[in-house]
Structure 1
Amino acid sequence: MKTIRHFISYYRPYKVVFSIDLLCALTISIIDIVFPLILDYCSTTLFAQDATHILRLVGFVALGLVLLYGLRSVCRYYVSAQGHIMGARMESDMRRDLFEQYQRLSFSYYDRHNTGIMMSRVTSDLFDISEFAHHGPENLFISLVKVVGSFLILFFINWKLGLALLAVTIVLFVFSLFQNKKMKRVFMDNRRKIGEVNASLQDSLAGIRVVQSFANEDKERRKFEMSNGRYLDSKIDNYRIMGWYYGGTNFLQGLLYVTIIVCGGYLIAKGQMSAIELATFALYINVFVSPLEILIEFTEMFQKGFSGFKRFEEVIDEIPEITNAPDAKPLSDVKGVIDFEHVGFSYEDNETILDDVNIHIKAGRKVALVGPSGGGKTTLCSLIPRFYDVSQGRILIDGKDIRAVTLESLRQAVGIVQQDVYLFGGTIRENIAYGKDGASDEEIVAAAKKANIHDFILSLPDGYDSYVGERGTRLSGGQKQRIAIARVFLKDPKILVLDEATSALDNESERVIQAALDELAKERTCITIAHRLSTIKNADEIIVIDDEGIKERGSHDELMAENGIYANYYRLQFQDREER
């Protein structure tokens, strides 16, 4: 019932359209029910009179029927057009809510879920929900009106034959409910399997350069065939159950006609029913059977829509782990003082990444984090903008607990340049402007100049309007990195995190980008994660972290004098160069 109430809530903005839609559906149903009565009146009353009387009245009957069917056509247009538009708008509303929920969810959610599966909920699931949102209530309403109206008239014509038909109809509905449970299970399985297909496809296409560079097309084809085959098996189960469903209901519908012939013949033989009444009865059976077929189709539509909406609800009901505190206040006038006080962090599998970390960073200071991969350096920096929340302890900026300030203001104060740069599909201008909403062309150009990318951009045929390709595939690693730096220049944060920003670049690109990063780091609190120790020699403090915590801290000269872990790292990296 909770799910149904949630689903109904999406009708609220369209109450007027929905009400008119149902009114039109009611009108269509009544006209369909009335026609056999008009035909019965004509055959038993009107056409039994003399020719003059028939000719005088038949025109009025024809005019009435034309008006009725004209009204029916108008109602059918509204149901088909406005009803579908309402369903499309509801689908759009759900897609908006789902997208906004995806934006709210924390990094930990994305660590656990596949992008392809999430996309299938936005596309295929919502399409089936939209179809059900429009056709479901309308079909159910039309069918119930026709079935109930037909039954009342059938009982009025001959209640004994009506009872016989009611018995067969009850058997039909019991059979439908029994098959309905099977269909619910198989449709949910369909949803999961198509999500796996989408996940496999998205993974393969996103990594197509890696696939082809390793000549692993056959491997990817086999992986896709496995998920595609599982989906096919699920669909086969689906259609077998549907085959039994439609076959069984079709047989029971046939029994309705058998019941009319057998019971009707018996009642005529007993003088309890006339042949004309039986003919009218047969006409109403057609009116009666048609909505039964619609109800049967509604069952399939309901299961598809309901299973899709359940998956939609799974995401909507997900509670974001990172949210604003009820009394959160904006972080303003940021200086850039950062304190880690007894900070600990563990993932959901309880694997401890950080334990009792204490670091004080003064405003404007340059701090470097070094150590082996997996030591928690990136995790430590991810805690500052609250991509994850600390498991213990707290982090302060300018003396304020970051959990007591709004997420937006906190993340506006922190700029991040990573090794793996993500550029959005679009132009260079749009990607740089991502750093500041409403940035002017002058600001974009100024940011590009500071990032040492302006001259390169002007050398392109379309300049700042050049298309970067999906994920920036038309640009080199160094060019993408400088656009990312320009983006952060435009953002102008007081706290800067450089996460191995130059580790994947050649020496020439590293030199150019390091100059841009040095410019970017001026008058900002800067935390640098680096494996290339040449980039951090001038840091105010270097902190050595491994999986057991902080091991060493000090300036480059101090740590070299200690002759410990850092000095060993440095010698390993530079001994060959120094020998040469």
Structure 2
Amino acid sequence: MDVDAGDDDAFEDVRENVDHPMRRLFAEYGRDNTGAFTVGLLSSIAARLLDLLPPVLLGVAVDAIFRNDRPFALGPVDLSAYASDPESQVILASSIIAGAFILGAGFHWTRNWGWNAFAQRIQHAVRTDTYDRMQRLNMDFFADKQTGEMMSVLSNDVNRLERFLNDGMNSAFRLSVMVLGISAILFYYNWQLALLTLVIVPAIAFFTYRFIKAIQPKYADVRSSVGQLNSRLENNLGGVQVIKTYSTEGYESDRVEDTSRDYFDANWGAITTRIKFFPGLRVLAGVGFVVTFLVGGLWVYSGEGPWIFTGTLSEGEFVVFILLSQRFIWPMAQFGQIINMYQRAYASAERIFGLMDTPSLIEETDDAEELAVTDGEVEYDGVTFGYGETQSVSEQSSGEGTDPADDEVILDDVSFTVDGGDTLALVGPTGAGKSTVMKLLMRMYDVNDGAVRIDGQDVRDVTIPSLRDAIGYVSQETFLFHGTVRDNIAYGSFDATDEEIREAAKAAEAHGYIQNLPDGYDTMVGERGVKLSGGQRQRVAIARAILKDPEILVLDEATSDVDTETEMLIQRSLDRLTADRTTFTIAHRLSTVKDADQIVVLEDGSVVERGSHDDLLAEDGLYANLWAVQAGEIDELPEEFVRRATERRSQVDAEVGDDD
């Protein structure tokens, strides 16, 4: 059975529907951070203009002070009015240069503050918004995506956005100011030599364009392979106990190596493209510098323009050209780095907004009201549910409606009512639809036909928080968050006092063992509660439900994986918890539900039997046969029951194989 992640990007389908992700990023998140953006932008301009002042002053000093053949002026500003003799002019020029360095350092600080604040705030907002949107999606989304893939979006992709917004944009504006400022100064001094210096720009632009076209799909492959690698590592680390017990370390190492190789190949493909681009860009930039130096040097040496050039070029102007052209050419080469960062950020933004745009199938109506639980009566009225546009089994068998092969019917025309305060047990073979019935009650999914009502209120017409606040859920696979025992009991009831937490623990038969833990209620349970036994985790979950005090309780195989003694303790807890409240119990171990007020037997998504334990035994149907299996009376089972059980088992195994 191949359980490897697919070759495609898990978010490829939603990425394709995202238009202009970077433009959207600035439109949705940049507006709230215009202050930091403005500080960073204006400081970048000021800092870079001040950086250009020393080379210009050096050129002025060469011609005006040392050669004394040009006026001591900085553009239109006559500096000789402030210093008339050469000594004072040197001091003034040195003072201006020193002031430019000091003031520039201040602007560099405010520039970095502005860009970092802009990037960090957007990073925080994007990550929290993405997570908030993700956790509100319906369960189908989480069934299709692996944890590592989603973590890759929340961590790696969001971090790439932050790096571009900080380093990339900072560099882009800084280099833009440098290029524009230097171009203006060079044209001011000698437009002919300036044109020669800038002639290399179109070649650099074309070279950069080709790089963008080549690198963009490769970065998309890198992002996809990162998600797959994270999923593989997360999956293996979570299943390390199974790996050890089956001695499959070598097999899993090979699978990690294969997934890591896919990432290596994708990343190396992007790297080889990138490492070819930047040296080539430096060669082009170097050609521009050499040409400027050659023509300018001959111009100064001969005293007149070589070849087609006319006019004069002073030594000071030549110095300015040499210093500024070098500052100009290398920034042009650095634009490739910025484009490189932009392409990475673009691919990440597509994944982020693709995830954020994923529609949730469970939405509140505009006029949804708060659920008001009075008696706690729950009614399932002709409920049909499946994946896709579903129809009833009767319609499928008659050939009406859509092709049944296109649908997967899970529940068909399920109807029953449980009175407030009663306990209803759902039993049946694996795959009969028991857990799906409860998921519809909590609106993890919505029915395709029929209705689920609580005290006459359709669950689709009430607010989702009020619905789920009224329902307490204790599952077979108890999940505890990393934190203390106290934190886990109070989860969802965050305002509970210590006394209320202790009382809930006592009611769940958990107080005794909690007191014996190293730090009592302050004991850290470890990741997923690994420091506690299965029975201890189960009783913490029951205490959590008791503290919530819900009107309706759902127990999904709450005692199936514990020993007999622990089951007895948990069952005592559950008896207290279910008293005077509507309770649903899903169980394969029928001894735990024989005292239920009503037992509903499901088979292939339909209700086939309903009644008390004694009534169902008297019917000698499916429930009676399941009871006989657990009583060890296997030889007395009807052949038809065994045949159907074999068919169901084969079907379930096939579906699991397809899912994997």
TM-score, reference length from structure 1: 0.96
Q: Work out whether 1:272 is the aligned partner of 2:311.
A: yes
Aligned counterparts of 2:467 and 2:305: Cα–Cα separation in 1:
85
Q: Percent identity?
A: 36
The one-letter amino acid paired with 1:318 is: T
Residue 45 of structure 2 is aligned to residue 5 of structure 1: no
- Deviation for aligned residue 1:576: 5.4
1:495 to 2:575 alignment: no
What residue in structure 1 maps to residue 365 of structure 2? 325
* Mapped partners of 1:530, 1:225: distance in 2: 41
| 1:325-348 Cα shifts (integer Å, max 9, x gaps) | 111111124421111122111125
Report the equivalent of 1:540: 597
Partner of 1:36: 55
Local SS of the residue matching 2:444: coil
Report Cα offsets for 1:75-109 as digits up to 9, x if no partner. 11222344324322221221111221122112111
Decide which moves more: 367-376 or 306-315: 306-315
Distance 2:135 2:200 in 1: 52
Query: What displacement does 1:269 show?
Result: 2.6
User: Equivalents in 2 of 1:389, 1:261: separation in Å?
Assistant: 74
C-alpha distance 575-206 of structure 1, shift in aligned 2 (>3 A): closer
Partner residue, 1:45 = 64
Q: Quick check: 1:142–1:291 contact (8 Å CA) kept in 2? A: no
When the two structures are superposed, what TM-score results if normalisation uses the length of structure 2? Answer: 0.84
Please give the residue correspondences for 1:163-182 in structure 2 after superposition, counting only pairs within 5 Å: 163-182=195-214
Are the counterparts in 1 of residues 40 and 113 from structure 2 also a CA contact under 8 Å?
no
Give deviations 1:513-557, integer Å, cap 9, x for gaps.
111111111111111111111111111111111115111111111
Residue aligned with 1:489, SS: helix
TM superposition shift of 1:52: 8.0
Structure 2 gaps, min length 5: 1-18, 70-82, 389-405, 637-660
Cα distance in 1, alignment partners of residues 479 and 227 from structure 2: 25
| Residues in 1 aligned to 2:48 and 2:134: alpha-carbon distance in whole angstroms | 42
Give the alignment partner of residue 188 of structure 2, picking from 134, 150, 156.
Answer: 156
| Pairwise CA distance, 1:162 | 2.7
DSSP-derived class of the 1:481 partner: helix
1:52 and 1:93 map into 2 onto residues whose CA distance is 58
Distance 2:526 2:188 in 1: 71
Q: Write out aligned runs for 1:126-525 (5 A).
A: 126-261=158-293, 263-264=295-296, 265=298, 268-270=305-307, 271-274=310-313, 276=315, 277-347=317-387, 350-525=407-582
Aligned with 1:104 (options 136, 144, 148): 136
Q: CA 1:278 to 1:461, structure 2 compared with 1: closer, same or farther past 3 Å?
A: closer
Closer, same or farther: CA 388–510 of 1 in aligned 2, 3 Å: same
Bigger drift between 279-288 and 478-487 goes to 279-288
Q: Structure 2: how far apart are the matches of 1:212 and 1:47?
A: 81
* Matched residue SS, 1:344: strand
Is 1:530 the counterpart of 2:581? The answer is: no
Return the alpha-carbon distance in structure 2 between the equivalents of residues 255 and 89 of structure 1.
41
Q: How many residues align?
A: 579
CA-to-aligned-CA distance 1:199-227 (integer Å, 9 cap, x gap) = 11111111111111111111211111111
The 2-side partners of 1:259 and 1:83 are apart by 36
Distance 1:121 1:538 in 2: 48
* Letter of the 1:25 counterpart: S
Amino acid at match of 1:419: Q
Contact 2:39 2:114 in 1 (8 A): no
Residues 375 and 256 (structure 1), Cα distance of their counterparts in 2 relative to 1, 3 Å cut: same
Rounded Cα–Cα distance in structure 1 between residues aligned with 2:600 and 2:453: 19
Deviation per CA, 1:270-296, whole angstroms, max 9, x where unpaired? Answer: 453436244432222112123213312
**1:334–1:413 Cα contact (<8 Å) kept:** no
Paired with 1:212 and 1:365, the residues of 2 have a C-alpha distance of 45
Cα drift, residue 439 of structure 1? 0.5
Q: Quickly say closer, same or farther: Cα 1:512–1:578, change in 2 above 3 A.
A: farther
C-alpha distance in 2 between matches for 1:350 and 1:176? 50
Cα distance between partner residues in 1 of 2:221 and 2:110 = 35
CA–CA distance in 1 between the matches of 2:486 and 2:417? 37
Q: Indicate conservation of the 8 Å contact 1:125/1:305, yes or no.
A: yes
CA distance in 1, matches of 2:220, 2:20: 18
2-structure distance, mates of 1:159, 1:442 = 83
Whether the 8 Å contact between 2:517 and 2:523 is mirrored in structure 1 is yes
Instruction: Kindly provide the CA deviation profile for residues 306-335 of structure 1, in whole angstroms up to 9, marking residues without a partner as x.
Output: 211221111111222212211111112442
Contact 1:448 1:483 in 2 (8 A): yes
Report deviation, 1:575.
Answer: 4.0
**Cα displacement (A) at 1:160:** 2.8
- Counterparts in 2 of 1:435 and 1:19: CA distance versus 1, 3 Å: closer
Q: Which amino acid aligns with 2:104?
A: R
- Name whichever of 376-385 and 14-23 sits farther off: 14-23
AA aligned to 1:219 is Y
Aligned residues of 1:188 and 1:307 also touching (Cα < 8 A) = yes
C-alpha contact (below 8 Å) 2:51/2:104 kept by paired residues? no
Of residues 513-522 and 252-261 in structure 1, the stretch that sits farther from structure 2 once superposed is 252-261
In the other structure, the counterpart of 1:21 is 40
Q: How much has 1:261 moved relative to structure 2?
A: 4.2
Kept in 1: contact 2:473–2:555 (CA 8 A): yes
Which has the higher mean CA deviation after the structures are superposed, 402-411 or 454-463? 454-463
8 Å CA contact 1:482, 1:513 repeated in 2:
yes
Deviates more, 1:370-379 or 1:45-54: 45-54
State the alpha-carbon separation in 1 of the partners of residues 162 and 593 from structure 2: 56
SS of the equivalent of 1:383 reads helix
Output the CA distance in 1 between the equivalents of 2:369 and 2:334: 56
Q: For residues 323 and 360 of structure 2, what CA distance do their matches in structure 1 show?
A: 58
Once residues 350 and 517 of structure 1 are traced to their aligned partners in structure 2, the CA distance between those partners, rounded to angstroms, is: 38
Could you tell me how far apart the structure 2 residues matched to 1:191 and 1:361 are? 50
RMSD (Å), alpha carbons: 2.1
CA contact (8 A) 1:336 1:363 kept: yes
Counterpart CA distance in 1 for 2:346 and 2:21 is 9
The answer (yes or no) to whether the contact 2:225–2:263 under 8 Å persists in 1 is: yes
Matched residue type, 1:272: G
Indicate conservation of the 8 Å contact 1:435/1:488, yes or no.
Answer: no
Partner of 2:9: none
Equivalent of 1:73, from 105, 114, 132? Answer: 105
Distance in 2 (alpha carbons) for counterparts of 1:337 and 1:308: 48
1:33/1:287 contact within 8 Å kept:
no
Contact 1:346 1:354 (C-alpha < 8 Å) held by counterparts: yes
Q: 1:248 to 1:578 in 2, by over 3 A?
A: closer
Question: In the superposition, relative to structure 1, how do residues 118 and 212 fare at CA in structure 2: closer, same or farther (>3 Å)?
Answer: same
Residue ranges of structure 1 left out of the alignment (5+ in a row): none
Take 1:106 and 1:575, find their aligned partners in 2: how far apart are those partners?
Answer: 41
SS of residue in 2 equivalent to 1:269: coil
Residue matched to 2:621 = 564
Q: Label 1:319 to 1:216 Cα distance change in 2 as closer, same or farther (>3 A).
A: same
